[in-house]
């Protein structure tokens, strides 16, 4: 009985440690990649982006794959803390 409890606890600790390492490494990769981009740089989309405008959220916006755009700024969301890029849609042509 004691061996079963020790084995269960050991597997639980290993699982939590492995999960924590996976989560921290993926978050680090996302924030590091976006934070290295200087202001007013040009980037190209690797996939189609579906989003809405920032304030009213009533206009659906689709940016196709392969679109080259200029970054207006780099910020982090106040609620989630996720990084995001500011794109001036008036400068896009497709």
pLDDT tens for the chain, 94 residues long, are: 566 677 767 666 665 655 554 444 444 444 455 556 666 778 888 888 887 776 677 778 888 888 888 887 777 778 887 777 777 777 776 6
- Return the exposure string of 64-83: e unless at least 16 CB atoms fall within 10 Å of the residue's CB, then b: eeebebebeebeeeeeeeeb
Question: Is residue 81 located within the same domain as residue 56?
Answer: yes
6 with 42, same domain? no
pLDDT at position 16, please? 62
In total, how many domains does the chain have?
2
Write down the pTM of the prediction: 0.47
Asked if residue 80 and residue 57 are part of one domain, the reply reads: yes
Asked whether residue 31 falls in the same domain as residue 43, the answer is: no
| CA distances for 15 relative to 5, 7, 39, 79, angstroms | 15, 12, 40, 29
Alpha-helix runs per DSSP H in the chain: 2-35
83 and 61 share a domain? yes
Residues 55 and 22 in one domain: no
Question: Residues 63, 18: one domain?
Answer: no
Residues 50 and 27 in one domain: no
Both tokens of residue 8?
Answer: 């269960």
Cβ contact 63:47 at 8 Å: no
């Amino acid at each position: 009985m004691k061996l079963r409890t020790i084995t269960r606890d050991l597997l639980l600790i290993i699982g939590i440690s492995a999960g924590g390492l996976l989560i921290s490494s993926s978050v680090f990769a996302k924030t590091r990649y976006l934070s290295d981009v200087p202001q007013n740089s040009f980037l190209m989309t690797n996939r189609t982006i579906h989003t809405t405008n920032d304030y009213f959220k009533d206009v659906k916006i689709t940016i196709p794959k392969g679109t080259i755009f200029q970054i207006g700024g780099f910020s982090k969301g106040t609620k989630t803390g996720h990084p995001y890029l500011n794109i001036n849609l008036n400068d896009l042509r497709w």
